[in-house]
Amino acid sequence: MNGKPRILVTRRTFDEVLSDLRRDFEVEDRQHEARPLDAALLKSRLADKDGVMLAPGEVLDASMLAAAPRLKVVAVAAVGYNTVDVAACTARGVLVTHTPDVLNNTTADMAWALMLAAARRITEAERWLRAGQWQGINFGEMWGVDVHHATLGILGLGRIGRAIARRAAGFDMEVIYHSRRRVDAEIEAETRASHVGFDELLARSDFLMLILPYTPQSHHLIGAAALARMKASAILVNVARGGIVDDAALIDALRNRRIAGAGLDVYEGEPALHRGFLELDNVVLSPHLGSATAATRLAMARLAARNLRAALTGGVPPTPVNRVG
């Protein structure tokens, strides 16, 4: 032992980030491991650690904390932290941090990519073309729907929601939104977004974007009842978190054309996927790639490392979730 604080980095990350951390910490990394840590292994690896850089979606619960008496900081390398028991961390004096803002525009780009792909049936058309079915231009084939001048509904006008809304100006879209709390008038003016009730959002949106946190209150917020209030021509896009949408209800609505389509980057119980999605042509699927560009993932890793370093050296982490001490 060299007396340095011990850190666990649970997933492969950038070599330069690890090199920087190793200047001041004893780091256990998993650069050559393809699979994520299972719960039992994560629990055992945390037993002698002072800090952990936790990958997106990894669960850290009260039982793991109880087995990690030295732990001082959980640095989640993502903006979402719903898989971490923040209350249990706070009770034990463990700081939780996350990585907001650095991924706003990249995730907004992904939301738009899914929306455009679903609207113009891009993945369906590519499969059709690759299967050798294209016989030339036919005015009656592969009709999509226009994005320009349509109504974009955003459920959750936070940082990423605002970035999504700003992009709508270039498509001359009407933007409406619903959030738990109405945003300031300056933000509404800057994003050209009008606040509406939840039911009105469902009823009026040609494209409904979900970009809100996953909480017990938002679990299955978009279920059979909500889907039934949407337009039959509407397209749903989820770049938020799995569990906000009832996947089984969405599959039923898509299969029976109660809504026209969907673009999904997140799922219930991921990386498991409801097999019903694979049977549908009117859904665009991606494997949780919202922040997946090299520049943005590097920024996320660097911010997580800054949070770790500050928490373990007496500094103030830039993006804390809770307060301790």
Q: What is the mean pLDDT of residues 284-300?
A: 97
Q: Answer yes or no: are the C-beta atoms of 75 and 305 closer than 8 Å.
A: yes
What is the pTM for the complete model shown? 0.93
pLDDT the model gives residue 1: 46
For domain 104-285, is the CATH number 3.40.50.720?
Answer: yes
For residue 249, give Cα distances in angstroms to 88, 214, 228: 33, 18, 10
pLDDT band at 138 (very low <50, low <70, confident <90, very high): confident
Asked if 141 is an active-site residue, the reply is no
Considering 121, 178, 288, 306, which one is annotated as catalytic?
Answer: 288
Helix (H, G, I), strand (E, B) or coil at 116: helix
Instruction: Say what angle helices 104-119 and 122-130 make with each other, to 10 degrees.
Output: 60
Q: Average pLDDT in the 246-253 region?
A: 98
Average pLDDT over residues 213-217: 93
What pLDDT digit, counting tens, does each position of 252-268 carry? 999 999 999 999 999 99
Residue 75 has which token pair?
């640095």
pLDDT digits (tens, 9 = 90+) for 145-168: 999 999 999 999 999 999 999 999
Query: Of 3.40.640.10, 3.40.190.10, 3.40.50.720, 2.40.50.140, which CATH number belongs to 6-102+294-312?
Result: 3.40.50.720
pLDDT at 2: 59
Side-chain-side CA neighbours of residue 76 (13 Å)? 26
Segment 66-107, tens digit of pLDDT? 999 999 999 999 999 999 999 999 999 999 999 999 999 999
Q: What is the largest CA-CA distance in the chain?
A: 72
Residue 270 annotated in active site: yes
Q: Is residue 320's pLDDT more than 90?
A: yes
Report the chain's mean pLDDT, rounded to a whole number. Answer: 96
Residue spans in the chain of domains classed CATH 3.40.50.720: 6-102+294-312, 104-285
Based on the residue annotation, tell me whether 241 is a catalytic residue of this protein.
yes
The pLDDT of residue 35 is 79
Among 12-16, 53-57, 116-120, which is the least confidently predicted range?
Answer: 53-57
Q: Which residue has the tokens 């992904």?
A: 110
Phi/psi for 60 (5° steps) reads: -130, 110
Q: Residue 20's pLDDT band (boundaries 50, 70, 90)? A: very high
94: left (phi over 0), alpha (psi -120 to 50) or beta: beta
SS3 state at 194: strand
**Which residue among the candidates 241, 297, 302, 306 is catalytic per the annotation?**
241
271 preceded by a cis bond (ω within 30 of 0): yes
The catalytic residue among 26, 174, 200, 270 is 270
